[in-house]
A and B are shown apart, each in its own frame.
Chain A
Amino acid sequence: MKPIATTRSATGIPTGRLAVWWVLASEVVIFGGLLGSYVMHRLGHPEWGAAAAHTNTWIGAFNTFVLLTSSLTAVLAHQAAERGDGKKAAKLLMFTMLGALIFVSVKSFEWTMEIREGFTITANGFWSFYYTAAGLHAAHVIAGAVIMGFIAHDAWRGRELQRVELIGIYWHFVDVVWIFLFPLLYIAK
């Protein structure tokens, strides 16, 4: 049973959504600190460009496409949940999770190739930032997909439909982070 407090909404924003926004605010500064540090180093070390040239733009672009598409299915799931169609929302969330699976699989393939070539996390500063930033992002993808599984399970049974929107907002944020990681790690060479 939820406390009375949870059902109140003095701001007019539902409690869950308000909390998700604050989660995102705290995530922005985590990624902001990491990417800010990376950009500083990158601008100060033009020689890192040569290391960045070894990244595979096509794989990065494909993963961007996967995440953009999974964002579309997440927002369509939200739309379905708004209409009260839990089954459709759950199905669309499954598609989003599929996107996450493809993303992570492609990423592990990509990393395996790079590590084989000797570009390990200790190879130089660029690769350290590359693996740390992309790894932190991938951890968010995996965590989001797991939570999404529970929410899809509930949504299928028509329970807690408002949570479809919440995981969606989080998922779009993960997408936005990747939208910035893609040019930072893959395009700028």
Chain B
Amino acid sequence: MSQEQHHINYVKIWAILVVLLVVSVVGPFFGVKWITLITAFGVAVVKARLVVQNFMHLRIEKRIIKWALGTTLVLMLLFFAGTAPDVMEHHGVNWTNDAALAAVERGVEEGHGEVADDGHEAVGESDDGHEAAGRRAVEHEEAATAGQEFDAKAAFNTTCSVCHGTAGDGKGPGAVALDPKPANFTDSAFWETRTDEEIFKAIKEGGAAVGRSPLMVAWGATYSDDQIHALVAYLKTFRKK
């Protein structure tokens, strides 16, 4: 092996690689898509092949190694082929990926470019995006609210009543298994121990955020702040004097 590899002029290979690098950088300046594709990815394949064959000496390596490495590449193609129909495509037989379609439609305006001074704010803005894309999923609520006020009662009945009960008494069908039990909004003792802010936070960020049961999940992704305020107001109507 050492005999053969001495025939390789490494500096020459390196020079070719640098020239190819220049080609791949220059390619996009033509502004023609297929030229860019060739200069970017075609050249990358050629460069990789030069490195693998000459620097890694694969061309004088035993055949079994070529087989092993070839197998890994075939497997990656296989993975791509099996996964792309679901992940790359946004619709197929009897399904559509609404969130992805909405993201493509929105384009880049919301998807990036927001100048965030710190990471925290960026996260916050992404959450807004979350809500936008989730919109289709909560279309029925949108339908109910289209052009009119947010219907807190309807929202309560679809979202909260599972556990808290339509009467707000904490005896919904989902309450059976829960421990601690869901809050009973008819109980005036409940209202004496909570502030509105606390309830707002519990709805938006979940029970754990205010030191209550983690079984109360966060709804900040589904409802806007105004809607949550409306929900808090609706909850108060359950209170028995």
Residue of B nearest to A33 (CB): B79
Knowing A25-B68, A41-B87, A46-B104 are in contact, say whether A51-B44 is a contact too (CB < 8 A).
no
Considering the chains assembled together, what is the distance between the CA atoms of A50 and B114 in angstroms? 13
- Which of B118-126, B168-176, B200-208 contacts the other chain? B118-126
Give A114 Cβ to nearest chain B Cβ, in Å: 11
Decide: B112 and A123 in contact? CB cutoff 8 A.
Answer: yes
Interface string of A24-40 (1 = CB under 8 A from B): 11001100110011011
B107 touches A69 (CB 8 A): no
A35 to chain B, nearest CB (A): 8
A168 touches B73 (CB 8 A): no
Q: Kindly identify, within residues 69 to 120 of chain B, every residue whose CB is under 8 Å from any CB belonging to chain A.
A: 69, 71-73, 75-76, 79-80, 83-84, 87-90, 100, 103-104, 106-108, 111-117, 119
Q: State which size class the interface on A falls in.
A: 35 or more
B112: A residues at CB distance < 8 A: 50-51, 54, 119, 123-124, 126-127
* CA of A126 to CA of B36, assembled, Å: 20
Q: State the interface size on chain B (CB cutoff 8 A).
A: 64
Tell me how far the C-beta of B195 lies from the nearest C-beta in chain A, rounded to whole angstroms.
32
11 A–B contacts, CB within 8 A, in A order: A13-B62, A32-B79, A45-B104, A61-B25, A71-B51, A122-B123, A168-B56, A172-B55, A172-B56, A187-B36, A188-B40
A residues engaging B (CB < 8 A)? 11-13, 18, 21-22, 24-25, 28-29, 32-33, 36-37, 39-41, 43-48, 50-51, 54, 57, 61, 64-65, 68-69, 71-72, 74-76, 79, 82, 117-120, 122-127, 168-169, 172-173, 175-176, 179-180, 182-183, 187-189
Q: Which residues of B contact A (CB under 8 A)?
A: 2, 5-6, 10-11, 13-14, 17-18, 21, 24-25, 27-28, 36, 39-41, 43-44, 47-48, 51-52, 54-57, 61-62, 64-65, 68-69, 71-73, 75-76, 79-80, 83-84, 87-90, 100, 103-104, 106-108, 111-117, 119, 122-123, 126
